[in-house]
Amino acid sequence: MIMDDKDDARARMHHAAEEAAHSATADKAKGRVKEAAGKVKEKVGSAIGDHELEARGTAQRVEGRKDRLKGEIKDKIEDVKEHIEAGIEDVKEHIEAGIDVLKEKLDEARSKK
């Protein structure tokens, strides 16, 4: 039963990680679009002397940068998570190998008696 719970937790964690990765890609794409649109508005506003349009463009560009950076941060968090998971697996393998060695030593000691 405990293994089922662990497997279920792993499956939920994997699903959440996939959603986060998709979300990161969506945030970066959305951010790039907003940045580009904002730059266009800034340039057009500047060219025609419409300071309000220029300011709206600046605001949109900054919002786009925020979204893009949010997506990049999500990617970095996912990279760190994967690195930590790999480290945990390495530690687990070392512990299991150590346990196997201890069992062998115990069996050897018992057989000598």
Q: 111: which 2 tokens?
A: 């057989």
Q: Residue 1 has what pLDDT?
A: 44
Range of the domain at 55: 2-112
| Positive/negative CA dihedral, 91, 96, 101, 102 | positive
Residues 6+ apart with CB under 8 A from 58: 38, 42
pLDDT tens sequence across 22-40: 899 999 999 999 999 999 9
Closest C-alpha to 89, from 10, 20, 8, 19 = 10
The interaxial angle of helices 2-48 and 51-112, nearest 10 deg, is 160
Average pLDDT over residues 65-79: 96
